[in-house]
Amino acid sequence: MLDVNVMSGVRLSRHYFPRVLAQNWGRVIFVSSEVGAFTPPDMVHYGVSKSAQLAVSRGMAELTKGTGVTVNSVLPRPPAPTASWTTCARPRRAPA
């Protein structure tokens, strides 16, 4: 899990980040998770990987201060355990 969630971003950043900094313009966006900031007890392994990803993003953002490069993380919320894609996509009807 760490290899995919953390090291994939680290490897891509190692490759592209020097070029982006040399151009003095660019965007680096990590897709993390709200679980990285608020880890439920049954998702500690996933939370650790997403917390590490947030740390990488924050560290890179500090390196770009004063440049035209920004580094951000998007933290989508996990779906509710009882929801499904069909119920999420279906609009609710107003009560009669």
DSSP 37: T
- Residue 91's pLDDT band (boundaries 50, 70, 90)? low
- Residue 88's pLDDT band (boundaries 50, 70, 90)? low
Q: Is the pLDDT of residue 39 over 70?
A: yes
**CATH homologous superfamily for the domain 2-78:** NAD(P)-binding Rossmann-like Domain (3.40.50.720)
User: What is the CA 5 to chain-centroid distance, rounded?
Assistant: 9
Q: Is the pLDDT of residue 78 over 80?
A: no
Q: Which two tokens stand for residue 14?
A: 């190692």
The catalytic site residues sit at 46
Per DSSP, the residues of 54-73 read HHHHHHHHHHTTTSSEEEEE
Q: What is the mean pLDDT of residues 48-76?
A: 96
Question: Given this model, what pLDDT does residue 7 score?
Answer: 95
In the chain, DSSP assigns E strands to 26-31, 69-74
